Structure 1
């Protein structure tokens, strides 16, 4: 048995980024407008899909699929009102604007990373893919850009009115703030913290079995680790203890932080933890929330990752749950 506690083997898919957000430039309109003609624009539709080269979908490059940004000058001489500044990379500014695939777009099947394929619009040598299902297929730069773009898109979709007086709002700081036209209140993009915890038994350092559960709305055989939102006035560790107790009736201890990943669906950040529980602890799934919970061995998990399990389907590779489970499966007890 090992003496080393397991750790994540790499960054979660949506934690990857190479872009400098250049926060100070959001209040420097002269600089951003001057560089607009040479900037690049990600177009994102109302479903969160953005175009990528079609051939890259069929044959994913070693470094991942790149996005297919447009030349900013094609949208006008100045950034449109709805443009959101994403940051700078390799000397170019990157922005996000709403767009949509052509109405006569065909469809192409893209591996969704959950053991199933998803249909994506395809036209003019491009496929429009979405972050939640296909984020792990993107290269590092594209993953960071589209994650930020999707977070801002979801926030603006809900930010048309002031939370104080109900007045209409308008955008400021090139997409990074809104201001009420009636009372002047400013608001900024929100992120809701949620914990996600891999619970294993107390045999050895890393345990011999991991706790998995499934929600009623999930397809048969699909399981994951447990997660939940942090409540007001609650610590992260307290949330871990409460969520595991509420969802499966198990007490945990030795809570340890693993890593984090933004999850902009619509505005979360997933804070990954691991914890220990008594081996063979009785599981009592919460009515209406958890359809089934089970202890799974490392061998069962390895078979699922190898695609040879008939009884277990794991989370998609875009999720932090995938990275957590893979790290545990590769570790020694």
Structure 2
């Protein structure tokens, strides 16, 4: 089996040597280990440092496209290079390379298609109590959306089987971590987590400018992905208050009408407003049905892309 370890980089000339030096050279069940560095439009000499430090493959984006695009570029390149297993890690040396065999083992054994390194967030000393609670909340939300039991949803230390990698098409721009979990959950791919530790931070995070930015970006990503993969349910939740309020106003009108209460005409506004609310709710449900139909077409498109990627790889063998 061939393992490729992909590392996205953006101005990581200083920390990349540490990350590359810590990677394993031999793993049980793996015949070949290669490294792929994706230089996401760096302004420094990241690509040259990667080659000097022994990276087997280097891909350069002409400008900075973001982590999600760099991840997709790496996955596509690894598949073209014949990878059976892909490990994704960061260039800032956050994740110790000694855990790569632990990530790979469930994939090699055929038990999982995705293995996520659980950083055991509650034990990380440089994370504030607020950040720990927010990460736990985010992981809980992702578990509910995806149906996958993942304790550390935003961990970027992961291993993927070739089958999982063939299915992934990243649509969000902020990060790949949440979307890959949700896609894997919807596709019923096997997902496992293994405990890992982290190294002390070497630089501030580039994905989060501050705590509010992190919360806003992650929450928006989760909501967007939920609406994308569960459109009918999402629109039904939006329609429910309108339908319930409209129904309540109709009930109020008819109760007064059939009770024979004098001056029933003064309740006609309940009927009018209730009808308007019911119409709005019904329209929202219809939009949800249309979105659900579009979602089925998206699934067919993803299946076509999966088959095309698989055919391309098999032709190169």
Larger Rg: 2
Q: Give your verdict on TM over 0.5.
A: no
The structure whose residues are more often strand, as a share, is 1
The structure whose residues are more often helix, as a share, is 2
Q: Structure 1 length as normaliser, TM-score?
A: 0.23
